[in-house]
Amino acid sequence: MTIAAGDKLPDVKLIKATADANEPVQTADYFKGKKVALFSVPGAFTPTCSAKHLPGFVDKAAELKAKGVDEIVCTAVNDAFVMKAWGAANGSPEVTMLADGNGEFAKALGLVMDGSGFGLGQRGQRFSMVINDGTVEQLNVEGPGEFKVSAADYMLGQL
């Protein structure tokens, strides 16, 4: 079953990719008490993710925060080392990289896609959500091959 607006986030472990180390975080604790703009991509360093999705949230970070967002988070079914390298190459300190290396978060959300035809295996779908104190307020899931409703501009219109 896919998560929906009004649902609490599932409690799973993600890895926060930081400059110094990789830090395990539990979603129940991490998203508690703050408003978060979260977006998920099928893979770091992939074309749409690197050319549009991540740069959009980097460019709109100040506007998102001006509308009450405390933190901007990017997740992907990649390991923390890849997420750290992608953040260093294409990101910003304004975007927190949370690695879902085993796909447990994507699976718990009901937002897994099969990218086997592209050599990617099981990945998270492209989506975004506004999370307030651990509860999903907005959920925007893209159709296959699309990039519209999970973009930073779209989320700004929802806030």
Q: Which residues are catalytic?
A: 49
DSSP assignments along 122-145, one per residue? EEEPSEEEEEETTEEEEEEEPPTT
User: Whose CA is closest to 18, among 97, 100, 101, 102?
Assistant: 97
Q: How many CB atoms lie within 10 A of CB 45?
A: 15
Fill in the amino acid letter for 30. Y
